[in-house]
Homo-oligomer: A and B are copies of this chain.
Amino acid sequence: MPKSLEIIRKLAKKRDNKLLLFVVDGIGGVPDPKTNKTELEFANIPNIDELARNSICGMILPVSEGITPGSGLAHLSLFGYDPFEYEIGRGVLEAIGLGVNLGPNDLACRANFATIDYDRNIIVDRRAGRQSTEETSKLCDLLSKQISSIDGTKVRILPGKGHRFVVIFSQERLSDKISENDPQKNNFPPREIHPISSEGNYTARVVNSFLKACCEVIRNNRPANYVLLRGFSKLPKIPSMNEIYNIRSAAIATYPMYKGLARIVGMDVLDSGPSISDELSVLRSRLDEYDFFYLHIKETDSYGEDGEFIKKVRKIEEVDRYIPEIREMGFDVIALTGDHSTPAVLKSHSWHPVPICLYTKFAWKNNVKHFCEKECINGILGKIAAKDVLPLMLANAERLDKYGA
């Protein structure tokens, strides 16, 4: 454990109060050329503004200046883990995104169908003509039926979007210390999968046997007649939030990826229907059982990714209407922020810091009237690292002892 987390772990103590980390995914933005405003600047959010006026506002930097984070990394930061110290492998992220509940003996990898010229041993199309989700699903079914285990290692093959799928190998001797077979460019031979260190010897043999078995099944299929595998990874060894922060923590999220992330850091994942209203019902009904809740709203990010400025604004406004209901639940500390920015203008995640509002009774008087980038950047909190949000929440809940005498 890095020293900073080790220190927090020693200082963290129990208290009878409630904390809420409310993540509105991708909430941050940049000005739209038509409105000359960011999504938050444009949005009519009287309840969030009122919360912000009674909070400490500022900006969080998900990783470091200029770095655009993926969702896994951005969330780890928000949960207090240094994003340069902890990493979740691509295969694991893809698997939890499909709703798989991974165990310690699972090795996950991202896979996709490709087209190979078997005579010349050359990958002619790394994406098999970007075949449809439907086609991929059918082929995955076929492979699953033919290949359920390799030399005592259980194999699961799960279709994803387009030509992509996920393979999960389960056996206690598996290691992620193996190379990938994707040549990264068309018209090159597939690379050999080999152990990177001796730990990977057994796994490389299993994966190569799996690959051979796949080829036997789909050799005569077109265009998908080959399989590329990368991002071999196991569940990372991350100390649990409950242990570090001395809390009982729960997650309420509707997308599998975020539930999976919460599980990886040791939160209980509470089942919920898909709407904000559903999520809040769960929050209310389970309030007594936990100290800390992570509440996640996904659609703001999705609309940002789709370039839908107004739809993203409307979703933020919908979130706003639920703020009074949340405040009535009596949380002592609420952090409302995003894991990263997803400006509709960019149609993707971005590197920009994200507005945060930290509701606490120990707030200095605030200068923020409207919760948005332009005002929060001059907020009382200043610009802080996302990984400092959790320590600050705990401090404001008087859950951290003094450090040093």
Interface residues of A (CB under 8 A from B): 3-4, 7-8, 11, 30-31, 36-38, 41, 59, 63-74, 83-84, 87-88, 90, 93-94, 343, 345-346, 348-352, 362-365, 367, 373-374, 377-378, 380, 382-385, 388, 390-396, 398, 400-405
Contact = CB atoms under 8 A, between A and B. Distances in A.
Contacts of A391: 64-67
What is the total number of copies of this protein in its complex? 2
A395 B395 CA distance: 34
A384 B3 contact: no
7 contacts: A36-B365, A65-B392, A66-B390, A66-B393, A90-B405, A93-B405, A351-B400
Contact of A64 (B4, B74, B88, B348): B4
Contact of A374 (B69, B374, B380, B395): B380
A226 to B, nearest CB: 23
Contacts of A67: 7, 11, 391, 395, 400, 403
Given A36-B365, A364-B374, 12 more contacts: A65-B384, A66-B394, A66-B395, A67-B395, A68-B400, A68-B402, A70-B404, A74-B404, A352-B362, A373-B380, A374-B380, A377-B382
A373 B404 CA distance: 24
Contacts of A377: 364, 380, 382
Given A59-B382, A404-B72, A345 B365 contact: no
A79 to B, nearest CB: 14
Contacts of A88: 404-405
Contact of A403 (B70, B348, B363, B404): B70
A69 B402 contact: yes
A29 to B, nearest CB: 9
Contacts of A378: 367, 378
B364 A70 contact: no
B68 A395 contact: yes
A395 B93 CA distance: 24
Contacts of A362: 30, 343, 345-346, 350, 352
